[in-house]
Amino acid sequence: MSNDYLDDFDDAPPANGNSERAYSPTIKELPETLRPRERLQYAGANALSSAELLAIILRTGGKGENVIRMAERLLIDFNGLAGLSQASFEELCNAHSMGPAKVTQIKAALELGRRLLLAGPQERMQIRSPADVANLLMLEMGLLEREHLRTVLLDTKNRVQRIITVYAGSLNTAVIRIGEVFQEAIRANSAAIIVVHNHPSGDPTPSPEDVRVTQRIVQAGELLNIDVLDHLVIGRNRYVSMKERGLGF
């Protein structure tokens, strides 16, 4: 095993011993079975906690704080991975023992995860339930600070063709032009669409305006021979299928 990983850690206690943070064992002092990189190699990435995975990305800890403890603290301070994703570059840089290099590593890793969710495997994702759509978009859309309306374009086998952002901002029947909702679906010769929008408040409960917009979209889809399979409202780690609730359909 290369020593570069262990030697990266600068997590010895301060010389004056007056740190406000309790001293934690260095990575070098931990048994190999508890070191994140080694655990990933023999147990697999899915066996690691979020803190351990984040520790691998961060690589180094701080004075009196090993990298696992640092990762745990960041997840607590920023309310988990979703909070880290939502935090600005400057906010993360201001956290204890953080700097531009570490923040860049975190932001790059989170962006790769987001793109993987959106891109999917080479075999296009097939939508079988509202939960499939929610799993595809909720991580990102649940963190947006403004309302976004997107359409998921589907082929005849309900496989995802593309995901289109139609509007960003406050959504109401006066703003939304139904033709724009279907514009890309017509170009892609889509058989069906699923409409998705978020509530920045975090509460996905559909509003009366959401129901009115859905009714207009469904009626237009019938005229265009493009099935509107559902309209999902995304909140913070929650969603509502308006089709399942019979709202607007």
**What's the pLDDT tens digit per position in 206-217?**
999 999 999 999
Length of the chain: 249
| Conformation bin of residue 78: beta by default, left when phi > 0, alpha when psi is -120 to 50 | alpha
Q: For residue 134, what pLDDT is reported?
A: 92
Burial zone of 58 (CB within 10 Å; 0-12 exposed, 13-18 middle, 19+ buried): buried
Provide the whole-model pTM.
Answer: 0.55
Q: What is the mean pLDDT of residues 5-14?
A: 41
Annotation: CATH topology of 123-241: Cytidine Deaminase; domain 2 (3.40.140)
Q: Domain coordinates of the chain in residue numbers?
A: 4-118, 123-241
Burial zone of 37 (CB within 10 Å; 0-12 exposed, 13-18 middle, 19+ buried): middle
Query: Residue 169: pLDDT above 70?
Result: yes
Q: For residue 113, what pLDDT is reported?
A: 79
pLDDT band at 21 (very low <50, low <70, confident <90, very high): very low
